[in-house]
Structure 1
Amino acid sequence: MNWRNRSLFYVLLLMALGSHLLTIGASAAGWAALTLNYVAYPHLAYWRARRARDQRLAEMHNMDADIVMAGAWIASLGAPLWISFILCASGCINMVVFHGARGGLRLMLSLAVGMALAALVVPLAWQPETDLRTSVLCMIALLLYLFAFARDGYDRAMSQSQANSRLRKQYDEIQSLQAQLREQALRDPLTGLFNRRQLDATLGPAMQLCREQGACLSVLIVDIDHFKRINDTHGHAAGDAVLQSFAQLLLRHMRPQDMAYRIGGEEFLLVLGGTPLDTAVERAHMLREAVEVLRVRTGSGELSVTLSCGAAAFPLHAQEPQDLLDCADQALYEAKKGGRNRVVTHPGPVPLQPALSASE
């Protein structure tokens, strides 16, 4: 219990018990005990708990003392029903909150200790009656106590709910950030295409799926011709602009089931699932022709480029991912060796249409 709740409830108990003492004509000692218990003691208990190393343990001890004193009052007053009820009810609530179900046993033990101590001082008598004023004050005290307790419970529940909402929001933000980081780790930051790490993770499963379905899979390794000359002549900013423009063109020529990767400085790869070699080569020529008419605006003016492409297919050329990439890479080498700006299939420089003169 915090200082506010303890002080409020003890003031209400002071009024209820004071009304009963006034009715029965209590002695000065009774009034002194009432003042000490319900005026001085709450502040002393709060002061002790605030300064304790273990505040929860100190508050438990304070509640034990509360109930011992409540037992002493019940016994010394002859167990008036309404006073006994509010003292037992409030003590029961506190004990169960702090100790769970076993708090009921602790409550009875503490009440018994208080009653036994009272029996050592005053003779016990059974006087259960309370007058109307005292009964009404007891009802008000219990009602206000329950209201204050419920309000604190509501405040704690709302605070916990808000804390949970914040934690859920933070968790969702962390999950989103982790997803973004995973995505960024698998993509080339300049072009936005997947990187070699993602290729290594996906090509094998894609080939296995085609193997299970009895389908073909083709790969196209594409290299931008004379890219180093662009960097040396026009600068790396112009080279980056060419790479980005080519990546966008590549994406426009992709189907939903295709995958595009940047696997080197100016080297790209397309994985065409469910696509036979002849269809893949036709698409490679369409891409080559689109690159020929592409104009890239840079700080030093418009640039044009061409590409060379090597093609290979599963299961025609290879059964394993690295072997398939090696076949396509060999075909790319032959395309460059044969004059660039052409598409070559494995195993040799056999363009499906006449090779064009190289564009420098």
Structure 2
Amino acid sequence: MLLDVRTAMLLTSAITLVLSLCLAFTVRQSRRPAALASRLWALGTALQPLGWLLLGLRGHIPDLFSVVCGNGLICLAYAQYPRALAAFNSDQRPSQLPNLLAASTLVPVAFYTWLEYNVQMRTVITSGLLLALFVLTLREIHRGAVRALAGQHILAATFAIGAGLLLVRMVFETVNPAPLTSALAATPMQSALFGYAALAPVVATFAFFQISSDRQRLELETLAATDPLTGVLNRRMLDQLVAGLLAESRRHGRPLSVLLLDADRFKDINDAHGHHVGDFALRALVHAVRELLRPGDLIGRLGGEEFLVVLNATAESEAVLVAERLRASVAALDLRQDDARLALSVSIGVATLSPECSDFNELVRSADHAMYAAKRGGRNRVVSGEFKMRQAMLDSTTAD
């Protein structure tokens, strides 16, 4: 049994109208940065009922409204979805390219409605432009897929099915020996496409708001785990992650080292240039350190200008070499304020897992003692716990 196309259009209009009304209340409570994306998505959904209503009234109202304006509104509606996702992905005002593609339907649709009546060409052209909009939407879904979230899979599947139907429709109508003579003709292809059009906005909107919810949850998780100024781990999350690394190191007999970095004379930078410059210097320090770390290494902020780097599967001798590279990288930073170069350097203490230093607090304490030894030694240098112990033994022997 084939679906009556006019009935399908009017049904789609009713469904999208109810959906758009629901979205109107939801979008009012959206918070930035998702507000613009939600408004664009709601706009796309709100334009559809009017477009489908005009198409469904073909024969009862002038073709200017039913054919030209109806097709134009449907294309404009679907143009808002890639724009909404672009705004969601980048939190910036999206490109007008989808709107331009949607507007470009008006001329050929008008031409093949009045000057050279041809339903087949009108169908192929509008399907092609809608297909281009679906491809843009799929590109934005892929661009925003930072994690394998269920909402992204549902949204991608919804638009992929629609793109497939449009592609089949284009090819079918191009080679069909008995082309459409009326846009309201009931054919299997028409029934499949308009049945999809009735369900797709509901499924896609559900998936979009699922993605929004997942994004907010991930943002809250990130805020709870990271330092807001520098973006590195906070002390609580660092404790949790290092506990797992310590247990793994003991189980497999692998070394683990920590580096405690403290910015030298950082108070002088704050006093001379202000805290905003100090914040800039800390972010630059973190960036320089991260550039030299491996994917499995951790960095967290202990407080103030103190940072802790955790080097998994790294012996003390290798950790000292890493610390030297970090120290040199920070010292080489060309930071300027009012044409004056900011002198930024770090003192680094190194400690490695050992029978005498077997838990996280002891490791941090040992690295802290070594770091203060580096401060006393003139700053901008690296001191390891082993070197500090050897120096203490040497001092004791000399005293004897």
TM-score normalized with structure 1 length: 0.51
2:323 corresponds in structure 1 to 284
Change (3 A) 1:241 1:300: farther
State whether structure 2 residue 334 is matched by structure 1 residue 306.
Answer: no
1:253-300 CA deviation, whole Å, 9 max, x = no partner? 111121111221111111000000110011111221222222212246
2:301 aligned residue (258, 262, 266): 262
Task: Point out where structure 1 has 5 or more consecutive residues left out of the alignment.
Answer: 1-154, 353-360
CA distance in 1: counterparts of 2:378 and 2:196, whole angstroms: 75
- Which range is displaced more, 254-263 or 300-309? 300-309
1:157-185 CA deviation, whole Å, 9 max, x = no partner? 97666434322221121112211221232
SS of aligned partner of 2:303: coil
1:294-329 CA deviation, whole Å, 9 max, x = no partner? 221224622122211111111354211122111111
State whether structure 2 residue 186 is matched by structure 1 residue 185.
Answer: no
1:320 corresponds in structure 2 to 359
CA distance in 1: counterparts of 2:196 and 2:218, whole angstroms: 32
CA distance in 2: counterparts of 1:316 and 1:304, whole angstroms: 39
Change (3 A) 1:286 1:350: farther
Change (3 A) 1:196 1:239: same
CA distance in 1: counterparts of 2:200 and 2:272, whole angstroms: 62
State whether structure 2 residue 237 is matched by structure 1 residue 198.
Answer: yes
2:208 aligned residue (169, 172, 177): 169
Matches within 5 A, 1:53-68: none
SS of aligned partner of 2:366: helix
CA contact (8 A) 1:195 1:261 kept: yes
How far 1:348 sits from its partner (Å)?
6.3
Matches within 5 A, 1:19-58: none
Structure ID, larger Rg: 1
Matched letter for residue 310 of structure 1: G
Change (3 A) 1:195 1:159: same
Q: What fraction of aligned residue pairs are identical, expressed as a percent?
A: 35
How far 1:227 sits from its partner (Å)?
0.2
- Which range is displaced more, 168-177 or 291-300? 291-300
CA contact (8 A) 1:219 1:311 kept: yes
1:191-224 CA deviation, whole Å, 9 max, x = no partner? 2222212201101101111111210000000000
Q: RMSD across aligned C-alpha pairs, in angstroms?
A: 2.9
CA contact (8 A) 1:344 1:350 kept: no
> Which runs of 4 or more aligned residues in structure 1 lie more than 6 Å from their structure 2 counterparts after TM superposition?
155-158
CA contact (8 A) 1:221 1:310 kept: yes
CA contact (8 A) 1:344 1:351 kept: no
Matches within 5 A, 1:205-220: 205-220=244-259
CA distance in 2: counterparts of 1:351 and 1:244, whole angstroms: 35
1:275 corresponds in structure 2 to 314
Change (3 A) 1:341 1:351: farther
Task: Point out where structure 2 has 5 or more consecutive residues left out of the alignment.
Answer: 1-193, 392-400
State whether structure 2 residue 264 is matched by structure 1 residue 236.
Answer: no
SS of aligned partner of 2:380: coil
Change (3 A) 1:313 1:280: same
CA distance in 1: counterparts of 2:260 and 2:271, whole angstroms: 24
2:383 aligned residue (314, 333, 344): 344
CA contact (8 A) 2:289 2:329 kept: no
1:34-56 CA deviation, whole Å, 9 max, x = no partner? xxxxxxxxxxxxxxxxxxxxxxx
CA contact (8 A) 1:317 1:324 kept: no
SS of aligned partner of 1:260: strand
Change (3 A) 1:249 1:157: closer
How far 1:229 sits from its partner (Å)?
0.7
1:223-271 CA deviation, whole Å, 9 max, x = no partner? 0000001100111122112111111100111111211112211111110
SS of aligned partner of 1:323: helix
